Amino acid sequence: MSRHGIKAKSKSGYAGVLAPVRSELGHLSVQKLTRRDIDGLIQRLRDGSVARAKGEGRRRKWGARSCNYMLVALSQVFKQLVKDGTVVRNIAEDVDRVPGKPKKFATLHAGTGGMRATSDPEGPQSPCLAPGPVRAAPR
């Protein structure tokens, strides 16, 4: 890595997230790498069909967040390669991000005698919480 002043933890994180790229696509030169190659790698990571670097079986299935983190790191690498003149364009930016599963958040709103949580996306009509004692949830 040519980035100066990077923390050791960040450096090891980048190395870890880019390890499948090196192991699966390392035989190709960066100029020959295509969007289809990266899409295929993401599909194999999502399926859990990528071998470990040391040949110790297969990697676990990757989630959307891990795949997108890899795409961001790979995009940074290609951005630097474009600046250096090694490649003409950043192909990692052209790869669609993996959609994640939206999380459901519980909204606190005014109820009778305190606060209660709801999964109603509209929430309460009043933006403030009603006064009253806050009670522990029943077990």
What are the structural domain ranges in the chain?
8-94, 103-139
Q: What is the pLDDT of residue 11?
A: 86
Please give the model's pTM, rounded to 2 decimal places: 0.68
83 phi and psi angles, rounded to 5 deg: -60, -40
- The yes-or-no verdict on residue 38 having pLDDT over 70 is yes
CB 16 within 8 A of CB 52: no
Rounded alpha-carbon distances, angstroms, from residue 98 to 17, 45, 90, 134: 15, 12, 18, 40
Confirm if 107 and 119 have CB atoms less than 8 A apart: yes
| Average pLDDT score over the chain | 81
The percentage of residues in the chain with a pLDDT greater than 90, rounded to a whole number, is: 49
- Do 45 and 52 meet the contact criterion of CB atoms below 8 Å apart? no
**Does 99 score more than 60 pLDDT?**
yes
The verdict on domain 8-94 having CATH code 1.10.3470 is: no
Say if residue 31's pLDDT is above 90: yes
Alpha carbons 120 and 96: distance in angstroms, whole number? 31
The tens digit of pLDDT for each residue in 48-81 reads 988 887 777 888 999 999 999 999 999 999 999 9
**Region 69-95: what's the mean pLDDT?**
94
